[in-house]
Structures are given as structure tokens and as C-alpha cells.
Amino acid sequence: MNSDTLGNPSPIRRIAHLDMDAFYASVELLRYPQLKGLPVVIGGGRSAVQAALDALADDPEVQASGNPRAHIPIASFSQLKDYVGRGVITTATYPARKFGIGSAMGMMKAAKLCPQAIQLPVDFEEYRRFSRAFKQVILDIAPQMENRGVDEVYIDFTDVPGGQREGGRVLARLIQKSILEATRLTCSVGVAPNKLLAKMASEFNKPNGIAIVYEQDLQSLVWPLACRKINGIGPKADARLQGHGIHTIGELAAKDEQWLIDHFGQATGAWMHRAAWGRDDRPVVTESEPVSMSRETTFERDLHAVRDRMELGAIFTRLCEQVASDLLRKGYVGKTIGVKLRFDDFKIATRDQTLARHTADAQTIRQAAGQCLKRVPLQRRLRLLGVRVGSLARAEDASQVAASEAHEVREASAYNSDIWTGQLF
């Protein structure tokens, strides 16, 4: 082991991956403790919950309790069998999973499996509040944190006090305890020499678990796992690997690097080989800038480009306004405007167009997105429509010049007619 001039051992790289346990469901159960132990699914928008909450608005005792939601009678919640429309399950509680319900499952299919399951609408605002809370707890203890979405982070333990003790277990326990105290939520932590192994390790002892992995644990703990457990190997790559008789990470590691490159390409092949051998030197990235912002929506029924053009036009305008307001609120402008369509056969088409200048203006975005739409063949009915703005820059960097120029662009194109509504801008 290396040491500094005082003879202290230099720290070994220790990276943690922290994953909140059944995050959305756990947050909902804090608000609705009466649902504990019942099959509950979260997904879709509509639900009787708001009406039930409103019905309690006049009850002073309930309002004084601090959490009126806890007083909603179980019979007042929506059940899956009452759900109408499209949408998928975002999360299912453990009792619901026993019926075979899982995330990404269609609501209608889930309703057949467990019609009596209670259905709650997704409340991203609330999940984001809890997300900010648990991340702040971590930052106060270990400042080198990388965001990986609403319920996951990587943390660099290497130079944090306690981060080396028992391979990181001491610090992991402290963080778990602090998060539980601040949010009443549990999480699972994996600590390993790098992000790749830490991510796998955090799954080992779920829920509320800690797993410590060292380099020398590769053969015993990692090689028996399915290739799919490698973050970055999805269903397609896994199927191809299986086609070659490779099922476990150990079998992948046994393959010659050149063989993998020959079959999966230079970059992917070499990466697969490194991953199977537990090698990963990606740093923990504490700050990053967004690349794109988008809004998309799946219609309640498939829409016809001509017959439903008024409806489509209204939705299209709303999406552009939403993206524009997202950009404005977060302080970004974008240069590449694009549309995304999903047809009734689930095929996806995208078109984009790069403007001369950055913009966050709804009408400029709609104008450019409308041009993109004109390049898509619209024979089939549409299931989904999306609007995307990419090549982002911070609004202050692009300065006010962009705003005034965007206005000129809008003026210049003021009399172009729109593909669906013929509206003038």
C-alpha cells in the first residue's frame, strides 16, 4: 500500500451507490399510512384521492391532525378495476407485486391481475421534495455526490471521514441513519472500488441493506450474476450475448477481448470486456449541464393527422409552451428543435432542425417544430407527440441578443401557415 510522508496509508478509491428503497411507494405510504400492507399501484393521472381529500376539508379535527390524507377512508380510494384509459404502473407495493404486477406494466393488464388494488396518481412534485431532502442529507456528510435521477446517487467515499473504515460500511451506516431520521425512508448502499461495482452491490442486500465489495470479490460475488446486471447491458445486448451462449458476467469475462470487439464493435466490445473484469474509472461527476429538454404526451386514443387536426394542433401548441416555460424557468435556451411521433404500430419517427440562434420562445419553437412535422409522413394514426429542444446553452450566455433576434425570426415567418391548424403566428 502507498503511504504519505508521515507514513499514513493513502486512501483507497471507495465509491458508493445509494438507491432509495421502493421510493415512490414509500413516499406515498408516509402520506397514506392506512394503505400499509395493501396492494397499491402508482401510475396514471386520475384518481378519487383528491375528491376524498376535498371532502375532508371542512373537518376541523382532521385538518388539525397535520396530515389530512391519513384520514381518507380506504373505501374512498380508487381501485384498479375503475381505471379507464392508457398508462403504465410506475411502482407497485410489495403486496401488489405478489399478484404479478410490476412496474412498466399496462394499467389494464394490472387491473386483471388485481382489480381491488388501490390506485394512486403519480405525484412527481412530492417525490422531488423527498429527493431534495435525502440528497441534502448526503451532501452535508459527503460532498462528492453525483445525481442519477430522483432516487439514486453515487458518492465518492474516498476522502470522506469514515469512508475507508470497514471498506466504507461505517460511513454507509451513518448516511442510512441520517436519511432515515430526516425523511423516514430507507435506502440501500453498495460500496466498491468503482461506480460499476457499487451499482451492482447496492442491490445485494435490499431493502435497507449495505454491501461492501472489494476488488478480490469479483469472482465470488460478481461473476455468477447475469450479464443484464451490468449497468449498460439492456435487453438487446443481453439477447445477443445469450445467442452466443453467454449468460453470466463470468462467462463474459472468459471471452477474448478481440472476440467481443469483432462481434460488438470496437467501443462496445472493449467496454464489455472491461466491465466483466470489474474495471471502471469513470469519476463521480458532481455537476453537469442539461443537454436537452422535452415534453411529450400519449393521447387517450390514437389521433388521425387530418381528422383530428384541431385537437392535435392544440396539443402541439401546449407541448411547445411547456418546453418553452421549462427552458425559461431553468434559465436555458436551445438551438435544435425537434419533434417525436409514435404511430399506432409503435414505430417512432423523429425530425429536428437547428436554428441559427438559440431560443426559449414558445412561438419560435412551434414554428420550427411545425417545419419538422411537415417532413414526417403522416399516413398512420398517431399515439404520441413530443417536442424537444436540444443544443442547450445557459440563457445568460446566449444573452439578450438571442431574444431580440428570435423576435425578428418570428416576425419574418409570421405568415407561414401551420401544418395542422393553418393558424398564423
Partner DNA sequence: TCTGGGGTCCTAGGACCC
Of the candidate residues 29, 107, 196, 276, the single one contacting DNA (CB under 7 A): 107
Question: Between residues 72 and 319, which has the closer beta carbon with respect to DNA?
Answer: 319
Question: Between residues 35 and 233, which has the closer beta carbon with respect to DNA?
Answer: 233
Please give the full DSSP string across 309-366, using - where no structure is assigned: HHHHHHHHHHHHHHHHHHHHHHTEEEEEEEEEEEETT--EEEEEEEEEEEE--HHHHH
Q: Which of 126, 152, 203, 321 is catalytic?
A: 152
Single out the segment in contact with DNA by CB under 7 A; choices: 148-156, 171-179, 211-219, 400-408.
148-156
Grid coordinates of 166: 470497514
Question: Between residues 165 and 347, which has the closer beta carbon with respect to DNA?
Answer: 347
Of the candidate residues 338, 367, 418, 420, the single one contacting DNA (CB under 7 A): 338
Contact between 43 and 122 under an 8 Å Cβ cutoff? The reply is: yes
- In which region does residue 330 sit, left (phi positive, over 0), alpha (psi from -120 to 50) or beta (all else)? alpha
Cα distance between residue 229 and residue 276, in whole Å: 11
Residue 268 contacts DNA per CB under 7 A:
yes
Tell the smallest beta-carbon distance from residue 72 to DNA (Å): 25
Tell the smallest beta-carbon distance from residue 345 to DNA (Å): 7
Q: Which residues of 286-298 are buried (b: 16+ CB within 10 A; e: fewer)?
A: eeeeeeebbbbee
Residue 238 contacts DNA per CB under 7 A:
yes
How many C-beta atoms surround the C-beta of residue 377 within 10 A?
9
Residue 370 contacts DNA per CB under 7 A:
no
Tell the smallest beta-carbon distance from residue 349 to DNA (Å): 4
Contact between 209 and 236 under an 8 Å Cβ cutoff? The reply is: no
Tell me how far apart the 2 most distant CA atoms of the chain are, in Å: 79
Cα distance between residue 419 and residue 396, in whole Å: 33
Contact between 316 and 420 under an 8 Å Cβ cutoff? The reply is: yes
Residue 104 contacts DNA per CB under 7 A:
yes
Tell the smallest beta-carbon distance from residue 129 to DNA (Å): 16
Residue 292 contacts DNA per CB under 7 A:
yes
Residue 354 contacts DNA per CB under 7 A:
yes
Phi/psi for 99 (5° steps) reads: -90, 0
Tell the smallest beta-carbon distance from residue 68 to DNA (Å): 28
Residue 86 contacts DNA per CB under 7 A:
yes
| Catalytic residue status for 152 | yes
Grid coordinates of 95: 403486496
Residue 265 contacts DNA per CB under 7 A:
yes
Question: Between residues 68 and 338, which has the closer beta carbon with respect to DNA?
Answer: 338
Residue 304 contacts DNA per CB under 7 A:
no
Residue 205 contacts DNA per CB under 7 A:
no
Single out the segment in contact with DNA by CB under 7 A; choices: 113-121, 135-143, 211-219, 285-293.
285-293
Cα distance between residue 382 and residue 348, in whole Å: 10
Number of residues located near DNA, criterion CB under 7 A: 62
Contact between 104 and 88 under an 8 Å Cβ cutoff? The reply is: yes
Cα distance between residue 244 and residue 272, in whole Å: 14
Residue 165 contacts DNA per CB under 7 A:
no
Contact between 337 and 366 under an 8 Å Cβ cutoff? The reply is: no
Residue 375 contacts DNA per CB under 7 A:
yes
Of the candidate residues 234, 254, 411, 414, the single one contacting DNA (CB under 7 A): 234
Residue 248 contacts DNA per CB under 7 A:
no
Query: Of 35-74, which residues contact DNA (CB under 7 A)?
Result: none
User: Dihedral (C-alpha) 378, 383, 387, 388: value to the nearest 10 degrees?
Assistant: -110
Residue 235 contacts DNA per CB under 7 A:
yes
Which residues of the shown chain bind DNA in the complex (CB under 7 A)? Answer: 84-88, 90, 103-104, 106-109, 112, 148-152, 199, 230-238, 265-268, 290-298, 301, 326, 335-336, 338, 346-354, 372, 375, 383-384, 386, 390-391
Annotated active-site positions, please?
152
